[in-house]
Amino acid sequence: MIVMKFGGTSVESAAALERVASIVKARLDRRPAVVVSAMGKTTNKLLSIAADAAAGRRSAALAQLEDLRSFHLREAEPAVLEQDRPAVRGIIEEHFQELGELVKGLGLVGELSPRSVDAISSYGERLSSAIVALAFRRQGIPTAHVDSRNVIITDGHHTQAAPLLSRTYALLADVVAPLAREKVVVMGGFIGSTERGVTSTLGRGGSDYSAALVGAGIGAKEIQIWTDVDGMLSADPTVFPGGHRVEAISFAEAAELAYFGAKVLHPATVLPAVEKNIPVLILNSKRPEAAGTRITAETTSCANVIKSIACKHRITVVNIHSTRMLMAHGFLKRIFEVFDRHQTPVDVVSTSEVSVSMTIDNTARLAVICRELREFAEVDTEENQAIVCLVGENIRHTPGVAARAFGATGGANIRMISQGASRLNLTFVVAEQDLPKVVGALHDEFFGEPAPAVSG
Ligand code: ADP
Ligand code: ASP
Ligand code: MG
């Protein structure tokens, strides 16, 4: 068995749905189980509808909901058999009826809890998975639609829920694995439910993670992430277009890249794959013949020092100064306790004799974090910064990588340089506005003549 996950752009239209069905049909001998994202930009739209509804902008919310309903009808109807059209219409109408009630309810309550955000955003994958299952029938693929909320069980940390692994794996093995031996199981990514049956989500981009969970739970031989690029590229194409496809990377490299912003893979995806040693492939649903990127436990030998450059946008640097007691016992602990109490992850940390700098991505609690830090230190913050992360196992045993990197970036102001214990990355912070220039210069330096294993 294999798992095939299709992202939002891969299922965004009737034509895309047909492409996905052909890709799956051509691989039926590998007994695929399919995980799908919401169609196109549906999740963003649902979140905007929820925000409008809770803020009392009811007519704006209802108008957007109507647009989303007609989008689903327009793309789904031609994608299914004539005889399945009443069924697909029925499914869409029923889901939008419920969404309409939720929107009205939110307007009355006037506030948006994480639990209600999940209730609304889950509809994208609930709809897409039901539609994809019917679209597969049009190409004669025997399908079984499984509601992911019955098998992916999570904690109650709504909008960022963590799966309860042993429960989830047991349900996937008992419910999905036997079905997947007979039919193509189609499930929505991103969504799950708590032990009490309340709908939850795994966080933005979480369908990749769902696919990996399903792969680990059913004992798949491979997890395929089908998206809109040819694989992991040597740089984020939205910052530096024209990067090369990376043929193969290790789980450790993929985890660093995903964590530091390579959106093509959700950072948690690698965990279940590593645990069960299942290869992950990144493939392009618009060019299914392209070889993609293969992610495995092995470190493939590669003449390039760097495999890829990731970047994380719009991060905030928090500088904490203390002339008196920085290196005093317990000072760093006190700082980290503040971030921990406010559930704010810290990405990069660097220290000097009198100061500590850290980067954060989520600034929702920044004001109160600063207030608490100021009880024992001076604090200032800098917005509009970006993290640049060079990743490659070869960094570990190649001297002079930092000199080449910083030599190439010329005039840009480079800060907070760090290299984790794994020594497979070199990470630093630059101003967001310098990012394209810096990434371009680094790409020229390290990929001027790509080795075959990187260039594909
Ligand atoms: P999906 O909807 O299929 O999950 P995503 O938008 O989440 O797709 O991820 C694919 C996108 O990731 C690409 O379109 C690209 O803009 C972005 N991306 C960022 N960094 C990289 C990288 N290093 N390699 C490939 N794509 C990247
Ligand atoms: N639909 C969800 C999102 O847009 C999950 C995903 O596509 O991975 O974040
Ligand atoms: Mg994604």
Q: Which residue has the tokens 């007979």?
A: 182
pLDDT class for 124, splitting at 50, 70, 90?
A: very high
Of all ligands present, the nearest one to the C-alpha of 38 is 2
**Ligand 2 atom with least separation from CA of 209:** 8
Choice from 190, 191, 266 to test ligand 2 binding pocket (greatest atom count within 8 A of CB): 190
- Is residue 192 within 8 Å of residue 200, measured between CB atoms? yes
Q: Which residues pair with 186 in a beta bridge?
A: 34, 145
pLDDT class for 352, splitting at 50, 70, 90?
A: confident
Q: What is the mean pLDDT of residues 333-356?
A: 90
Q: What is the mean pLDDT of residues 167-189?
A: 98
Rounded to the nearest whole angstrom, what is the distance from the C-alpha of residue 171 to the centroid of ligand 1? 30
Mean per-residue pLDDT of the chain: 94
- Is residue 45 within 8 Å of residue 99, measured between CB atoms? no
Going from N- to C-terminal start, the domains of the chain cover 2-228, 308-455
Domain 2-228 identical in fold to domain 308-455? no
**Ligand 2 atom with least separation from CA of 210:** 8
Q: What is the largest CA-CA distance in the chain?
A: 76
Q: Which residues line ligand 1 (CB under 6 A)?
A: 7-10, 37, 205, 227-229, 232-233, 236-238, 262-264, 308
Examine the pLDDT at 118 and tell me if it is beyond 50: yes
The confidence score (pLDDT) of residue 326 equals 56
- How many helices, marked H, and strands, marked E, lie in the chain? 16, 17
Q: What is the mean pLDDT of residues 41-61?
A: 96
Which residues crowd ion ligand 3, with CB under 5 Å? 7, 205
pLDDT class for 332, splitting at 50, 70, 90?
A: confident
The confidence score (pLDDT) of residue 292 equals 97
- Protein residue whose Cα sits closest to atom 5 of ligand 2: 205
Comparing 64 with 409, which gets the higher pLDDT? 64
Examine the pLDDT at 354 and tell me if it is beyond 80: no
Instruction: Let me know how long the chain is.
Output: 456
Q: Express each pLDDT in 198-218 by its tens digit.
A: 999 999 999 999 999 999 999
The confidence score (pLDDT) of residue 325 equals 60
- Is residue 446 within 8 Å of residue 305, measured between CB atoms? yes
Q: Which residue has the tokens 């004992």?
A: 219
The confidence score (pLDDT) of residue 450 equals 64
Choice from 6, 209, 264 to test ligand 1 binding pocket (greatest atom count within 8 A of CB): 264
Q: What is the mean pLDDT of residues 75-92?
A: 97
Examine the pLDDT at 285 and tell me if it is beyond 80: yes
Q: What is the mean pLDDT of residues 101-118?
A: 94
Fill in the DSSP letter of residue 399.
Answer: T
Lowest mean pLDDT among 142-151, 298-307, 360-369, 384-393: 298-307
Examine the pLDDT at 259 and tell me if it is beyond 50: yes
What spatial distance separates the first Cα and last Cα of the chain, rounded to whole Å? 27
Q: Which residue has the tokens 């390039």?
A: 304
Lateral strand order in the sheet of 184-188: 143-146, 184-188, 32-36, 2-6, 222-227, 280-284, 293-296, 248-250
Rounded to the nearest whole angstrom, what is the distance from the C-alpha of residue 262 to the centroid of ligand 1? 7
Rounded to the nearest whole angstrom, what is the distance from the C-alpha of residue 122 to the centroid of ligand 3? 15
Give the pTM.
0.94
**Ligand 2 atom with least separation from CA of 38:** 1
- Is residue 176 within 8 Å of residue 146, measured between CB atoms? yes
Nearest to 207 by CA among 6, 3, 1: 6
Q: Which residue has the tokens 């010329």?
A: 410
Domain 2-228 belongs in CATH node 3.40.1160.10: yes
The confidence score (pLDDT) of residue 456 equals 46
pLDDT class for 242, splitting at 50, 70, 90?
A: confident
Q: Which residues line ligand 2 (CB under 6 A)?
A: 7-8, 37-38, 43, 124, 189-190, 204-207
Rounded to the nearest whole angstrom, what is the distance from the C-alpha of residue 207 to the centroid of ligand 2? 6
Rounded to the nearest whole angstrom, what is the distance from the C-alpha of residue 209 to the centroid of ligand 3? 9
The SS3 assignment for 453 reads: helix
- Protein residue whose Cα sits closest to atom 6 of ligand 2: 205
Q: Which residue has the tokens 């029923």?
A: 94
The confidence score (pLDDT) of residue 301 equals 72
Rounded to the nearest whole angstrom, what is the distance from the C-alpha of residue 9 to the centroid of ligand 3? 9
Query: Which stretch, 3-12, 294-303, 332-341, has highest mean pLDDT?
Result: 3-12
Share of the chain above pLDDT 90, in %: 87
Of all ligands present, the nearest one to the C-alpha of 7 is 1
- Is residue 227 within 8 Å of residue 281, measured between CB atoms? no
**Ligand 1 atom with least separation from CA of 9:** 2
- Is residue 122 within 8 Å of residue 199, measured between CB atoms? yes
pLDDT class for 163, splitting at 50, 70, 90?
A: very high
Of all ligands present, the nearest one to the C-alpha of 35 is 2
Of all ligands present, the nearest one to the C-alpha of 234 is 1
Domain 308-455 belongs in CATH node 3.30.2130.10: yes
